[in-house]
Amino acid sequence: MTDTDKAGEGCRYTQFACIGTGFSGIGLGATLKRWYDISDVQFFERHQDLGGTWFANRYPGCACDIPSALFSLSYEPNPDWSRVLPPSVELWEYLDRVAAKYDLRPRMTFRAEVKKAEWIEERARWRLTVERLENGDEFLHECQFLFGATGQLVRPKKLDVPGLESFEGRVSHSAEWPEDLDLTGKRVVVFGNGCTGAQVVPAIVGQTKHLTHIVRTKHWILPGVDQAIDDNTRAILKNPIMGRLSRFAIFAFAEDQLRYFYTNWDGNRYRKKVTKQAEDYMRKMAPAKYHDMLIPDFEVGCRRRIFDPGYLASLHAENLELTDTAVEKIVAEGVRLVDGRLIEADVIVACNGFETEDFMSPMEVIGVNGETIKDHWAKFAGRPEAYNCSVMSGFPNFFAILGPNSLTGHTSAIMASENSINYALRVIKPLLDGQGTTAELSFDAEQKYVYKMQDALSKTVLATGCGSWYVSKLDNGKEWNMAVYPWTQGHYWWRSLFPVWRDWQFRVSGTPPTAFFQVTLVALHVY
């Protein structure tokens, strides 16, 4: 039977399809090959090359904020990082090497955006409608297993300031930094002082004629951890045992930081310690005139902490001004503040984050009985959620890698991505062995899991009202955390190691769902 026969007229078929080619997509392709020797997978990527976040984000100063030993795939260690916190170009090069090792590039279609994914029950297939972005043409693709590796920090948030279209200079979002943007001798206004803004400002202030940094929120800033890795250290890390020990030590230290998220006695005590450390550092490093603008009045951990990439020192530059005066509007010449002052500008840089509530957009996902993913989430306060951070009932054979509530505020997201992938590939192992065609989660299991998670999150510092992007306000005044995992990554690893089989229904396409009856047999497939 040909691929076209399997999928239907005008379609191509692969057993697996994945949307996205960042860490999660490449991790999926590599793990399929490592575990099951499967290469029958097609990747769709809207950018012109692989890398996801680390292709899109090329702004000056862009780097990860987790030590490189941990910000990598566990089975593909890299002893050759140049820095503790490597720049984005090194992370992209790392992903490119991993993709080459597992021969993934030939299975990637670039400048292709999946507009719709629809479950075809009678065929036990997902049918994808894909647009070629270079010309607008559409084509169909079918698969048995669909993975969403789109990430949560993908689509730039529009700058919510009136008058942006009237500005006569250049405007750039940090995630869409143009290669030809020359800031030499320019007057620059930067919006946003989170992790990205704190990286951009020190990287560009020396080039500019004048830089105005408009801050609208506050963040706890801790002493920087980045430094160059010398040749001797790299030589030591080339020893596999030393490399693993280094990774484990960093993992253990990072996991210990989870303590300050909890509102129990130990968490409160630990937060006070970290708060004092951060405040002392900020007062020491930042100009005194900016202390009131910078030092938060909320607890450490409520928003993502920043390891200082040189930001506080850059505030001493003579050509830099920090202001927290509210913006009235953007005009042709620059930015007008509510006090009437005009900040003249040649370039506006937006470091204001991403559309985190618009998960998997603009793709429309349609599951069993025509239910869309947004219809499904309407049953859960209208906000993104998922069982084990990756699965939703009514969407068979579909897994979101780094899905809702998979992120952390204390450690590497790559670990969560690996856990998501490993969990999914364990769940579908019976299907790969011919014991059915469809795996579907029960709604009751999803509901119990999701509300247990939200209850746990309500008892953390994340729920103390600092206005973090992690948390969404509901119409009833309550909050819904759609981003963060409330427990340790060790907990997520263990849960992903042993799927709860009673929460799943396995069946042959076209037959009614029944509980999987061979629990013992399934257990044999667990690695």
**Cβ pair 188, 346 in contact under 8 A:** yes
Task: Report whether pLDDT(235) > 70.
Answer: yes
Please tell me the number of Cα atoms within 13 Å of 170 on its side-chain side: 16
**Do 164-350 and 3-155+356-523 have the same topology in CATH?**
yes
Task: Report whether pLDDT(2) > 50.
Answer: no
Q: Which two tokens stand for residue 474?
A: 């509901």
Listed in sequence order, the residues at least 6 apart from 2 whose beta carbon sits closer than 8 Å to its beta carbon are none
User: pLDDT tier at 412 (50, 70, 90 boundaries)?
Assistant: very high
C-alpha torsion 511→512→518→519, nearest 10? 140
Task: Report whether pLDDT(5) > 50.
Answer: no
pLDDT (tens digit, 9 = 90+) per residue, 84-104?
A: 999 999 999 999 999 999 999
Can you state the angle between helices 489-497 and 240-256, rounded to 10 degrees? 110
The mean pLDDT value for 457-471 works out to 90
Least confident of 103-117, 213-227, 286-300, 504-518: 504-518
Q: Which two tokens stand for residue 209?
A: 């004629």
Task: Identify the CATH number of the domain defined by range 3-155+356-523.
Answer: 3.50.50.60
The mean pLDDT value for 385-405 works out to 97
C-alpha torsion 13→15→18→23, nearest 10? -140
The mean pLDDT value for 457-473 works out to 89
Rounded Cα–Cα distance for residues 45 and 237 (Å) = 33
Q: Which two tokens stand for residue 75?
A: 């089975």
**Cβ pair 205, 211 in contact under 8 A:** yes
Secondary element (H or E) of residue 225: none
Task: Report whether pLDDT(7) > 90.
Answer: no
The mean pLDDT value for 507-512 works out to 70
The mean pLDDT value for 73-77 works out to 97
Q: Which two tokens stand for residue 196?
A: 């990205």
User: Nearest-CA neighbor of 53 among 17, 98, 23?
Assistant: 23
Rounded Cα–Cα distance for residues 55 and 76 (Å) = 19
pTM, two decimals, is 0.93
User: Nearest-CA neighbor of 213 among 230, 199, 232, 231?
Assistant: 199
pLDDT (tens digit, 9 = 90+) per residue, 335-360?
A: 999 999 999 999 999 999 887 777 78
Domain boundaries of the chain, sorted by first residue = 3-155+356-523, 164-350
Q: Which region, left, alpha or beta, applies to residue 52 given φ > 0 means left and ψ of -120 to 50 means alpha? A: left
- Tracing tokens 């800033």 back to the chain, one arrives at 221
pLDDT (tens digit, 9 = 90+) per residue, 265-303?
A: 999 999 999 999 999 999 999 999 999 999 999 999 999
Task: Report whether pLDDT(525) > 50.
Answer: no
Is the C-alpha dihedral spanning 409, 251, 259, 290 positive or negative? negative
Max CA separation in the chain (angstroms): 73
Residue-level pLDDT at 70: 94
Cα 439 vs. chain centroid, distance in angstroms?
26
- Tracing tokens 């030809």 back to the chain, one arrives at 180
Question: What DSSP letter does each residue of 284-350 carry, written as one string?
Answer: HHS-GGGHHHHS-SS-TTSS--EE-SSHHHHTT-TTEEEE-PPEEEEETTEEEETTS-EEE-SEEEE
Task: Identify the CATH number of the domain defined by range 164-350.
Answer: 3.50.50.60
User: pLDDT tier at 8 (50, 70, 90 boundaries)?
Assistant: low
Taking the alpha carbons at both ends of the chain, their separation in whole angstroms is 32
Q: Which two tokens stand for residue 284?
A: 């020491």
Rounded Cα–Cα distance for residues 218 and 303 (Å) = 9
Rounded Cα–Cα distance for residues 414 and 30 (Å) = 14
Please provide the average confidence, as pLDDT, over all residues in the chain: 92
Rounded Cα–Cα distance for residues 527 and 422 (Å) = 9
* Exposed/middle/buried for residue 501 (C-beta within 10 Å: 0-12, 13-18, 19+): middle
Listed in sequence order, the residues at least 6 apart from 372 whose beta carbon sits closer than 8 Å to its beta carbon are 364, 365, 366
Side chain identity, residue 510: G
